[in-house]
Amino acid sequence: MSSSIEQQRYLINPFTGSIDTEENWRAEMNEWEEVDATSREDQLASLEEHPFQLHCAAQLGNYSYFEQLMANGGDIEELNDEGFTPLHMAVMADHLHMVNIIIGVGADIDARENKTSGMTPLHLAAGNGFTEVGLALLEAGADPLLRIDNGAVPGQFNQDGATCIDYAEAASDDKLVAAMHLVVANRQADELAAAWSPSSADADALVPQATGAQQSQQVQRRRL
């Protein structure tokens, strides 16, 4: 798997919504975390003028404003100019609590962005190494076997249609990889159980039958 991944990792920049190098967007994240409280309040206040307020609230982790927007009819499945839903944006910013809030209001857990590769929120969490967010998505029913479009992510995967498991393996996220494989195994077991509906004859054949000697003993015990 590692041979199909180049040295430079390309991730989704949570500030632009575009594919970018990890180095570039990590620098922007550090800059955001160093902003003082007053400046951050000013930035959050600017949400009112943004065309995709719900997405920004999700990305910045502004819970109260997000809930206010939802109460006023916000569309949890709306796509922004980059083709992402609010859930995508919360995942890209690694906001676990916001992700859980969005899941709680009924967002499509496997929503696909529609501009490049069709990535789901779980693809983004797995590729960025956001373990806890990825686990929350799995718990909510996200499908780890969904595939992106071939060649949509530069410098990362060369094979056709990388799954969420491929992304987690690329990020060396062993905990998330194991959880994904467990989800797949449980799903396969459930599918096999649902597909097998034995007839009464099949059920009888599964019940251990008494031998001739055992039957004679049973008859004698009844006589006694």
The tens digit of pLDDT for each residue in 157-212 reads 445 578 999 889 988 899 999 999 999 999 999 888 888 766 555 555 555 555 55
Domains along the sequence of the chain with CATH: 2-223 (1.25.40.20)
Note the pLDDT of residue 53: 84
Sign of the CA dihedral 95, 98, 104, 108? Answer: negative
Please tell me the predicted confidence (pLDDT) of residue 1: 38
**pTM across the whole model:** 0.68
142 or 63, higher pLDDT: 142
Q: pLDDT tens-digit profile of 44-100? A: 566 666 678 888 889 888 888 888 889 999 999 999 988 999 999 999 989 999 999
**What would the two tokens of residue 194 be?**
């649902």
Q: What secondary structure does DSSP assign to 162-211, as a single string?
A: -BHHHHHHHTT-HHHHHHHHHHHHHHHHHHHHHH----HHHHHHHSPPPP
Question: Does position 37 have pLDDT exceeding 90, yes or no?
Answer: no
Our measurement of the distance from residue 38's CA atom to the centroid of its chain's CA atoms, rounded to an integer in Å, reads: 34
* Residue type (1 letter), 169: E
